[in-house]
Structure 1
Amino acid sequence: MSDSKPLKQISYSCYHTKTKEGEQFVAEHVFSYQIAGTLIMNDGEREYQFNEGEFRFSKRNTLIKFTKHPPANGEYKNLSVFLDQQTLRSFGAEYGYTSEKHVQTAPFFSLRPHALLKNYMDSLQPYDQLLQSGNEVLLSLKVKEAIAILVQTNPQLKDILFDLSEPGKIDLEGFMNKNFHFNVPLDRFAYLTGRSLSTFKRDFEKTFNTPPGKWLQQKRLQEAYYRIKEKGVAPSDVYIDVGFEDLSHFSYAFKKMYGQAPSRI
């Protein structure tokens, strides 16, 4: 059972049972407060855990997998504020903020606790009233307030928040071998590697000598075969992790490639 209340740039989530999501593309920076429960996030290279009472920052243009764990006999609760590029550009122009350098950090990280952060998150309650129409100006101001508080309490975020550049062209082979298990559209892969979709497809075939769709399915099935046969992982626990949307499609593709159902391996 779950209840998610999107509010343009503010979102409150509540889950009663463990929820394993597929994939998510973080398109904008996100400032979050873990009210209750635990969130496990994975960027394809390492795992990050955020516990009750922690504040976190998620960088834009990031691919993630995540699992939500409610506390014992309780509910998972999370509150997030999405800091979109248009608002950041406007805020920077109004108050003279710019990014002076490109900062390399983990895609998600905890923020040091601060009374301003906690008081701000408390001010977003009650959520149901905020959902009512007619609050557009108030909500816009609350997002700007979040930006101001983040910069004041965590000055190192300035160069991240106001870096409005788009992804540059990067090594295609390394990126795809790291991220093939994320089930996102090809145009998303193209964007993250700094290419148009047509250039991505052309560069991909030059690099891998096969179309991206075919390569992705083969790579995901090979990874699934390895996990099932060598690691003893159940097919029902592996198909989402390697990038398939549903078990039936995974089983069909697996049998077509390997001649037998994954449950028989």
Structure 2
Amino acid sequence: MENREAVKSPQIVYNCYYTRSREGEQFIPEHILSYQLAGTLVMNDGNKEYFFKEGDIRFCKRNHLVKFIKTPPADGEFKSLSLYLDQETLRDFSLEYGIKPEENKNGDAVLTLNYNPLYQSYMNSLMPYLQESENIPTSLQALKLKEAILILLQANPELKNVLFDFAEPGKIDLERFMNKNFHFNVELKRFAYLTGRSLATFKRDFEKIFHSSPSRWLQHRRLQEAYFLIKEKGRAPSDVYLELGFEDLSHFSFAFKKTYGMAPSKLLA
């Protein structure tokens, strides 16, 4: 069977996978509230690994880079339900309810929310639409998103300062950021945005610091790390190429051989 993904609206998404899915990298542009219905999900933001099992509720903060692996249960399907809380919806909510956040301390990129019957009841109310392939009417979707925000504020009031922090990323240390996040396979405009720069400024600052173009440096840095992991740690090429930001094994093998004069598998001999 093939994997399938049912998307009923831009903001309420029901995922279903039959096979283990390692989807590599993901940039989280909006806050996401998710309910794990079946299977497990492992997420990694480069600093910390997060594990979610059936019944867990998680909150992913916007403007973070993550890697993830979706694993279905034995003879079953991976299932999750996610709500994307976009900035426009949250701005409208903050104006309607007069909410002003205090200082937002960044903290973890992903949070496990403690069990609360409000979350369970809310998620259950969405399932009839999603499982029966029914479209959620636009007006009802708006109400359900507002309900989700109200529940978040009641069950986890500390999230107020996260939900209604509309600040964009500020300019940060580019060298430190790139050396930490080079293994994420995202577009250069994402790196630029997360370091508080326009794409043009990002490229200009990058070449001043690294004396190379971003694309050339990223490939070289990823290949360096791949060489170390295979040679010194005994990792298989098939295990590291996605981990280091390469899109497919053949591209990784070609680039590695061009740089080091041998196929990556030869390092294990």
Sort the TM-score into its range (normalised by shorter chain): over 0.9
Question: What SS class does the counterpart of residue 42 from structure 2 fall into?
Answer: strand
SS at match of 2:112: strand
Using the TM superposition, name which of 221-230 and 68-77 deviates more.
68-77
C-alpha distance 92-130 of structure 1, shift in aligned 2 (>3 A): farther
CA distance in 2: counterparts of 1:234 and 1:193, whole angstroms: 32
2:166 counterpart letter in structure 1: L
How many residue pairs align between the two structures?
264
Residue of structure 1 equivalent to 2:265 = 263
Q: CA deviation at 1:51?
A: 1.2
Q: How does 1:52-201 map to 2 (within 5 A)?
A: 52-126=54-128, 127-128=130-131, 131-132=134-135, 135-201=137-203
Q: Please state how far the C-alpha of 1:132 moved relative to its aligned partner.
A: 2.4
Gap runs ≥5 in structure 1: none
Residues 115-172 of structure 1: CA distance to partner in whole angstroms, max 9, x if unpaired? 1111000010120556427x11111111111111101110000000000110001111
Amino acid at match of 1:16: Y
SS at match of 2:108: coil
Letter in 2 for 1:206: K
Amino acid at match of 1:43: D
Q: Could you list the structure 1 runs, at least 4 aligned residues long, displaced by more than 6 angstroms after superposition.
A: none
- For 2:93 and 2:133, the matched residues in 1 are separated by 22
1:57 & 1:150 partners in 2: Cα distance?
A: 10
Amino acid in structure 2 at the alignment position of 1:35: L
* Identical-residue share of aligned pairs (%): 60
Secondary structure of 1:22's counterpart equals: strand
Correspondence for 1:212: 214
User: Quick one: which amino acid aligns to residue 6 of structure 2?
Assistant: K
SS of equivalent residue, structure 2 residue 24: coil
Point out where structure 2 has 5 or more consecutive residues left out of the alignment: none
Q: What TM-score results when the alignment is normalised by the length of structure 1?
A: 0.97
After superposition, what is the alpha-carbon deviation per residue over 1:212-255, rounded to whole angstroms, capped at 9, x for unaligned? 11100000000111111111111111111100101111111111
The answer to whether structure 1 residue 251 and structure 2 residue 228 are counterparts is: no
- Deviation string for 1:163-197 (max 9, x for gaps)? 01100011111110110000001110000000001
Cα 1:243–1:253 shift into 2, 3 Å: same
Q: 2:43: which partner in 1?
A: 41
